[in-house]
Amino acid sequence: MIEKKNCIVCNCEVIIINCHYSCENCGFSENCHDKPHLIDEE
């Protein structure tokens, strides 16, 4: 499963693979299985 979103740190576009991404711009990485602090953008 591959999808795109924006990095929560720098807002750069990142590609999520298997629910995980690493931002090439700022180096931030995140796994969507552990995001208790994420803001719901909707």
12/19 with CB nearer Zn ion:
12
Is residue 12 within 8 Å of 23, Cβ to Cβ?
yes
Both structure tokens of 37: 């602090």
Is the CB of 16 or the CB of 26 nearer to Zn ion? 26
- By the criterion CB under 5 A, which residues form the site for Zn ion? 7, 9-10, 12, 23, 25-26, 28
Closest to Zn ion by CB, 19 vs 25, is: 25
Question: Taking the complex as a whole, how short is the minimal distance between the CB of residue 37 and Zn ion, in angstroms?
Answer: 16
Q: For residue 31, what is the DSSP state? A: E
